[in-house]
C-alpha cells in the first residue's frame, strides 16, 4: 500500500537502471496471455455466481469489484484506509450490525477494518524497505496497564479454570487487545503533518455529522443509524436501543450504544474544534475557517444536549477547569461564548438543560437518584458501591481476574457498573487501578509538558494542549460509564491518542527540550 505518491528517485535508481527500448504503442500494455487468463477467470466467476447465487447479489458484487478496480489508486492508500476506519467507527453502531459473512461469530464492521489495518501495516513492514516503525510515545503506559491485568489473570488462574471462566477472561483480553491496536495502527499510518491534520479534520467533521443527526433524531424521533441495514450489506444482530428517557423526552443515541457514550464522544471533539478553528488547513480563509468550525461547535453542542447526559456536564467541567488553570485567557474567552449559547439552549430546550445542568444544584435529589433501584439492573451508581466493595474486599490486590465478570445474558455472574474504574478495581484489584491510572493520566501529563515547555511552534503547542484537555475529559468520564463496553468512544480516544503520539514525537521542539529517541530523518 502506498501513501499516494511515488518515492523520490535515488541516485542508485538513476545510475543502476539499464535503458530499455520499448516499441511505440506497446508501452505499459499487458501480455495477451494475462488478459486472456483474467477474462476466463472473470467469466467463470460470473457463470458460477449466476448458477449458485441470487442474481442481485452477483450484480452488486461485480459492481463493487468494478468500482474497486476503477478507484484502486485512491482506495489503496494510507489516507483512504484511515478514512474508512474512522468512518466505520463513527457511523456504524457497534454491537448492532454485523457483516453477512457465514462465520462462527458475528463479524462487526469495525473489527474487520481493524484487522485490515493490521494486515496492511504488516505487509508494508515486510515488503516496503523504506517503512520504519514510528515511535508511539505512550507504549509504556499501555504496557504497564496490560501487565497489571496479566498479573491479575495469573493470580486468579486456578480459580478461573475451576469456575469455567478462563475462556471468558481470555476473550476479554483479546477484545481489549483489538481495541488498543487501533492506537498503534493509526499512529503508524500518520507519517506527515499534512496527513495528521487531514485525518483530524475528517474525524472531527464526522463527529459534527453524528451530532447533527443526533439533533435530527431528537426532533424527528428517527435514528438514521438504525436504518443502515436498508442500504448497506449489514445484518442486524441486536435490535434494541433508542428508547431511553430523561426529562420526559427520548434521549438521542446517534451512532453510539448509549446516550452517555454519545455525549462523551462528542465532548472529546470540543477542544479539537476550537483548535481547528485557528489552525485547520481548510478553509484557507481565516474568517471562513472560524465560521465553519464555529458552526461545527454549535452542532456538536446541540448533539450533546440531545443526548441529555449529566456525565457530559462533568466532562465539560473538567475540561474547562483544566483550561482555566493552565490557559486562563483562553478559558475566559470560551466562557464569553459559552454563556450566550447556554442561555439560548435554556430558552429552546429548558427541560433538557434543567435535567443536565440545573439538577446539580439540587444535591439531595441528585444523590437520591444515584441510590435508586439498589440490587437491580440499571441501579444508581452510588447504589452499586456497597455490593461492589463487598466483592472487592474478597480480592483487594489482584481482583477477580480481568474479563471474568459477565453482566448480561443467561450466564451473568455479576451486575452492570456504570463506572469503569470500579469495574477495573473488581476485576484487576488495586494493582489494576494503578495500571489504569498510569494508562489514562500519563499521556495527559506528557502532552501538557510538551505544550507548555517543549513545543517550538504555537500550532503544535495548542494541538498538544487541546488533545490533553480532550483526553482529560474522557478520563473524568470513566467514573460514570463503562468505557470498555462502549466501543465508539474508546476507539475515538485511541485515534486521538495516536495523533497525540505524533505531536509528542514528531512535533517541533525548542533547543532546550530533550530530543526524542526517534526522528523522521534518523529513520530514513
**pLDDT at 464 (0 to 100):** 96
Residue 212's CB: how many other CB atoms inside 10 A? 18
Question: How far apart are alpha carbons 174 and 180 in whole angstroms?
Answer: 10
Maximum pairwise Cα distance, the chain = 88
Instruction: Name residues whose C-beta falls within 8 Å of residue 517's C-beta, 6 or more positions apart in sequence.
Output: 135
- Residue (of 461, 374, 378) closest to 418 by Cα position: 378
**pLDDT at 161 (0 to 100):** 86
Residues 2-18 have pLDDT tens digits of: 444 444 444 434 334 44
Residue 306: is its pLDDT beyond 50? Answer: yes
**pLDDT at 405 (0 to 100):** 76
- Residue (of 225, 5, 209, 203) closest to 93 by Cα position: 225
Instruction: Name residues whose C-beta falls within 8 Å of residue 3's C-beta, 6 or more positions apart in sequence.
Output: 77, 78, 79, 191, 195
Q: Pick the most confident of 67-81, 382-396, 485-499.
A: 485-499
**pLDDT at 14 (0 to 100):** 39
- Residue (of 370, 419, 366, 372) closest to 392 by Cα position: 419
pTM assigned to the model? 0.83
> Among the residues of 349-380, which ranges form H helices?
350-356, 363-370
> Where in the chain are the domains?
139-506
Residue 351's CB: how many other CB atoms inside 10 A? 12
Query: With contact defined as beta carbons under 8 Å apart, do 96 and 489 qualify?
Result: no
Residues 255-303 have pLDDT tens digits of: 999 999 999 999 999 999 999 999 999 888 999 999 999 999 999 999 9
Termini Cα distance of the chain: 18
**pLDDT at 4 (0 to 100):** 43
Residues 407-429 have pLDDT tens digits of: 665 666 676 777 888 889 988 88
**pLDDT at 135 (0 to 100):** 93
Question: How far apart are alpha carbons 334 and 330 in whole angstroms?
Answer: 6
With cut-offs at 50, 70 and 90, classify the pLDDT of residue 470: very high
Residues 79-108 have pLDDT tens digits of: 999 999 999 999 999 989 998 887 778 889
Mean pLDDT of the chain, nearest integer: 82
Query: With contact defined as beta carbons under 8 Å apart, do 275 and 458 qualify?
Result: no
**pLDDT at 69 (0 to 100):** 66
Within 13 A of 54's CA, how many CA atoms are on the CB side?
A: 3
Amino acid at each position: 500500500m502506498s501513501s499516494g505518491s511515488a518515492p523520490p528517485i535515488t541516485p542508485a535508481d538513476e545510475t543502476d537502471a539499464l535503458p530499455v527500448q520499448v516499441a511505440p504503442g506497446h508501452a505499459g500494455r499487458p501480455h495477451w496471455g494475462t488478459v486472456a487468463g483474467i477474462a476466463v477467470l472473470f467469466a467463470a466467476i460470473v457463470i458460477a455466481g449466476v448458477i449458485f447465487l441470487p442474481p442481485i447479489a452477483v450484480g452488486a458484487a461485480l459492481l463493487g469489484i468494478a468500482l474497486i478496480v476503477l478507484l484502486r489508486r485512491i482506495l489503496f492508500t494510507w489516507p483512504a484506509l484511515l478514512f474508512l476506519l474512522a468512518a466505520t467507527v463513527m457511523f456504524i453502531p457497534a454491537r448492532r450490525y454485523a457483516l453477512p459473512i457465514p462465520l462462527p461469530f458475528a463479524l462487526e464492521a469495525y473489527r474487520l477494518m481493524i484487522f485490515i489495518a493490521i494486515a496492511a501495516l504488516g505487509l508494508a513492514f515486510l515488503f516496503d524497505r523504506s517503512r520504519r516503525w514510528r515511535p508511539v510515545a505512550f507504549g509504556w503506559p499501555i504496557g504497564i496497564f496490560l501487565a497489571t491485568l496479566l498479573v491479575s489473570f495469573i493470580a486468579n488462574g486456578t480459580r478461573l479454570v475451576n469456575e469455567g471462566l478462563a475462556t471468558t477472561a481470555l476473550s476479554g483480553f483479546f477484545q481489549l487487545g483489538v481495541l488498543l491496536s487501533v492506537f498503534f495502527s493509526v499512529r503508524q499510518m500518520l507519517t506527515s503533518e499534512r496527513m495528521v491534520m487531514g485525518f483530524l479534520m475528517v474525524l472531527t467533521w464526522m463527529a459534527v455529522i453524528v451530532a447533527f443527526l443526533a439533533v435530527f433524531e431528537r426532533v424527528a424521533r428517527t435514528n438514521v443509524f438504525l436504518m443502515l441495514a436498508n442500504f448497506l450489506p449489514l445484518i442486524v444482530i441486536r435490535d434494541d436501543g433508542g428508547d431511553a428517557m430523561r426529562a420526559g423526552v427520548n434521549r438521542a443515541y446517534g451512532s453510539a450504544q448509549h446516550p452517555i457514550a454519545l455525549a462523551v464522544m462528542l465532548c472529546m471533539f470540543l477542544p479539537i474544534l476550537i483548535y481547528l478553528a485557528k489552525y485547520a488547513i481548510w478553509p484557507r480563509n481565516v474568517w471562513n475557517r472560524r465560521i465553519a468550525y464555529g458552526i461545527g461547535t454549535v452542532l456538536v453542542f446541540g448533539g450533546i444536549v440531545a443526548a441529555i447526559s449529566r456525565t457530559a456536564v462533568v466532562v465539560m467541567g473538567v475540561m474547562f477547569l483544566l483550561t482555566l488553570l493552565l490557559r486562563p485567557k483562553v478559558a475566559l474567552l470560551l466562557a464569553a461564548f459559552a454563556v450566550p449559547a447556554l442561555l439560548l439552549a435554556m430558552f429552546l430546550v429548558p427541560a433538557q438543560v434543567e435535567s443536565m445542568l440545573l439538577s446539580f444544584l439540587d444535591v439531595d435529589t441528585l444523590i437520591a437518584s444515584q441510590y435508586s433501584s439498589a440490587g437491580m439492573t440499571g441501579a444508581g451508581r452510588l447504589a452499586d458501591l456497597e455490593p461492589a466493595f463487598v466483592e472487592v474486599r474478597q480480592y483487594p490486590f489482584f481482583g477477580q481476574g480481568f474479563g471474568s465478570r459477565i453482566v448480561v445474558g443467561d450466564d451473568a455472574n455479576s451486575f452492570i457498573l456504570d463506572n469503569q474504574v470500579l469495574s477495573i478495581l473488581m476485576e484487576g484489584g488495586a494493582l489494576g487501578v494503578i495500571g489504569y491510572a498510569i494508562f489514562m493520566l500519563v499521556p495527559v501529563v506528557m502532552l501538557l509538558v510538551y505544550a507548555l515547555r517543549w513545543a517550538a511552534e504555537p500550532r503544535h503547542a495548542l494541538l498538544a494542549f487541546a488533545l490533553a484537555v480532550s483526553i482529560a475529559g474522557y478520563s473524568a468520564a470513566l467514573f460514570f460509564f463503562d468505557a470498555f463496553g462502549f466501543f465508539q468512544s474508546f476507539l475515538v480516544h485511541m485515534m486521538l491518542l495516536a495523533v497525540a503520539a505524533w505531536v509528542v514525537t514528531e512535533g517541533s521542539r525548542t533547543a532546550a527540550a530533550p530530543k526524542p529517541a526517534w526522528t523522521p530523518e534518523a529513520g530514513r
